[in-house]
Copies of this chain bind each other. A is one copy, B any other.
Amino acid sequence: MVFFDHDDDKPHEECGVFGVFGSLEASLLTALGLHALQHRGQEAAGIVSYDGKRFSSERHMGLVGESFGGDLRQRLPGHAAIGHNRYSTQGRPMARNIQPIFADLDTGGFAVAHNGNLTNARILRQELVRNGAIFQSTMDTEVILHLVARSPKKKFVERLVDAMHQIEGGYALVGITGKKLIGARDPIGLRPLILGRHGKSYVLASETCALDIIGAEFVREIENGEVVVISEEGIESIRAFPPRPPSPCIFEYVYFARPDSFIQGRSVYEVRRRMGNQLALETHADADVIVPVPDSGVPAALGFSEASGIPFQMGIIRNHYVGRTFIQPTHTGRQTAISKKHSPNRAVLEGKRVILVDDSIVRGNTSKKIVQMVREAGAREIHFRSASPPIVNPDFYGIDMAAKSELFAATHTHEEMVRELKVESLGFLSVPGLYKAIGEPVRNGMQPQFADHCFTGDYPTQLLDHQRAQADKERQLSLLDDV
């Protein structure tokens, strides 16, 4: 269908979630919210609404804006709705893997969508199947659904907490039952979830930018390990786990979140600008111009220019008619697609000493192509700067970022990277510098304030599936190819 280009060499978040309770425009608000969260997943989107009697559902491949036009209030009626944008970590790109998913439980209907990844999904799944559970998709979300369905507890929320005690990993989930909108966040708050208010309605969303688009006000973040239950009676908060400090994913600051979003009260844009300031202090180079890799590198490049006094220019132009990431996640597509997204602005680059600023380097493919493009446009020197530290470890909580063997910084020395990128110099922000830019003067080595394992190797949870998978490489999760 569409041959959108994509950010080949970026970490990919697999999901954005949204939910609303108490508005007759629930499904429309959800579509708008998902539209604002589109950067978190472009492969597919789904919305389920509830009108007091019946759940209605639509799930489509492609962008929200392409599928959820028309009169949504008629197609997806009701005062409550949840929605989901998906990239594709677990589960191949097929129709049966689109969230939210729905089931008729003993306690009534339940629809649920989640952002994140369970680190023991495979083990739980095998156990459930052995006990007669039927899986019709390959999504982690279906595991949660089964655990809720099989919980011996009576009340729905108790069942959900019961399920949360069995799963491990990073997740933020939204769900609706006949009477409630529910939000929940994993014990360390790896995946984001916030609460907003829109008139008399309550809203749950992955980021604050989804509140802004509908004119909702920010109330607070859902806390790590918290379950919120929103109903006509108002909001109830349940602490499903013993208290501990949160450890949210540091990549929300580095790349995932939209720059106009706020996380933990901090402007993402300002954090990225300060990362640029810090980067300039740590990795100065003499140059004529600071050029961002657009759009994600812009705030850090502005910060770099600010701190270094070297002028900022748009030396690379981004074609607007391509999505931020790809709709056809095939390897071939990835290779041919890239040249159509970025164009060199020769007038800025020719004969210049250029500092190229990007948010991060993952596999290095895109960086190499951009360097080559900038060089062919006449740059005299190219100094590549990454506004985050070297990525040397994979993620297991829902970020699609390549295996360790594909990570550029994990497989090359500094000198090898300089040589492969063909740049005059290469610099990364340091881990302490990153913490400083975010606003934490010092990283707490015993219990880091953020999940920063990609940079440091300190994983915040066990990785059961991963350990098992090493031994059990070939077993396929599902046998069905569905069209």
* Interface residues of A, Cβ cutoff 8 Å to B: 1-4, 32, 35-36, 38-39, 42, 48, 53-59, 63-66, 69, 75, 101-106, 108-109, 111, 129-136, 142, 145-146, 149-151, 178, 209, 212-213, 258-260, 262, 267, 269-270, 295, 298-299, 302, 306, 311-314, 317, 319-324, 339-340, 343-348, 476-483
A306–B342 Cα distance when bound, in Å, is: 25
The docked-state distance in angstroms from the alpha carbon of A302 to that of B298 is 13
With contact pairs A213-B339, A306-B311 given, residues A132 and B109 touching in the complex (Cβ less than 8 Å): no
Given A32-B340, A108-B479, A213-B339, 16 extra CB contacts under 8 A: A3-B69, A35-B340, A38-B320, A42-B321, A54-B476, A56-B480, A58-B483, A102-B479, A104-B478, A132-B133, A136-B136, A259-B314, A260-B344, A262-B347, A267-B346, A312-B312
- CB distance B150 to A132 under 8 Å? yes
Q: Which residues of B contact A145 (CB under 8 A)?
A: 134
CA gap between A321 and B6 in the complex, in Å: 12
CB nearest neighbor in B for A42: B321
Cα distance, A102 to B1, chains bound together (Å)? 27
Q: For the complex formed, measure the closest distance between the CB of A426 and the CB atoms of chain B, giving whole angstroms.
A: 26
Residue pairs across A and B with Cβ atoms less than 8 A apart, 19 shown, are A2-B69, A36-B340, A48-B480, A54-B481, A55-B479, A58-B482, A65-B322, A101-B136, A102-B480, A104-B134, A111-B480, A133-B134, A212-B343, A213-B340, A260-B317, A260-B346, A262-B346, A302-B313, A302-B314
Chain B residues positioned under 8 Å from A258 (CB to CB): 317, 343
Q: How far is the CB of A323 from chain B (nearest CB, A)?
A: 6
Contact between A134 and B149, CB atoms less than 8 A apart: yes
Task: Give the chain B neighbours of A480 by CB distance below 8 A.
Answer: 48, 54-57, 102, 104, 109, 111
A215 to chain B: closest residue by CB: B339
A348 contacts across to B, CB distance below 8 A: 269
Which of A101, A132, A306 counts the most chain B CB atoms within 10 A? Answer: A132
Q: A38-B319, A267-B346 are in contact. Are A57 and B103 (CB under 8 A)?
A: no
Chain B residues positioned under 8 Å from A111 (CB to CB): 480
Is there an interface contact between A57 and B319, defined as CB atoms closer than 8 Å? no
Q: How far is the CB of A71 from chain B (nearest CB, A)?
A: 12
Contacts of A212 in B (CB 8 A): 343-344
Let me know if B347 and A267 touch, CB within 8 A: yes
Closest CB of chain B to A107's CB: distance in Å? 9
Instruction: Give the residues in chain B near A479, CB-CB below 8 Å.
Output: 53-55, 102, 104, 108-109, 178
Nearest CB on B from A345, distance (A): 5
- Decide if A321 touches B35 in the complex (CB within 8 Å): yes
Contact with A320, one of B56, B270, B295, B476 (Cβ below 8 angstroms) = B295
Contact with A483, one of B75, B213, B313, B317 (Cβ below 8 angstroms): B75
Chain B residues in 8 Å Cβ range of A260: 317, 343-347
How far, in whole Å, are A110 and B297 apart by their CA atoms in the complex? 47
In the assembled complex, the CB of A413 is this many whole angstroms from the nearest CB of chain B, namely: 33
Whole-angstrom distance between the Cβ of A249 and the nearest chain B Cβ: 20
**Residues on B with beta carbons closer than 8 Å to the beta carbon of A267:** 345-347
A118, B348: Cα distance in complex, Å: 37
Q: What is the minimal beta-carbon distance from A18 to any residue of chain B, in angstroms?
A: 14
CB atoms of B106 and A130 under 8 A apart: yes
Shortest distance from the beta carbon of A78 to any chain B beta carbon, whole Å = 11
C-alpha spacing A473/B133, complex, angstroms: 29
Give the Cβ gap from A132 to chain B, nearest Cβ, in Å: 3
- Contact of B270 with A321 in the complex, beta carbons under 8 Å: no
Which B residues lie within 8 Å of A63 (CB)? 321
Contact, CB under 8 Å: B323 / A299: no
Bound state CA distance, A101 and B476, in angstroms? 19
Complex Cα spacing A104 to B143, Å: 13
Task: Give the distance to chain B from A35, nearest Cβ to Cβ, in Å.
Answer: 6
Report the separation of the CA atoms of residues A219 and B476 in the bound assembly, to the nearest whole angstrom. Answer: 37
| Contact, CB under 8 Å: A69 / B314 | no
Determine the distance from Cα of A150 to Cα of B149 in the docked complex, in whole angstroms.
Answer: 14
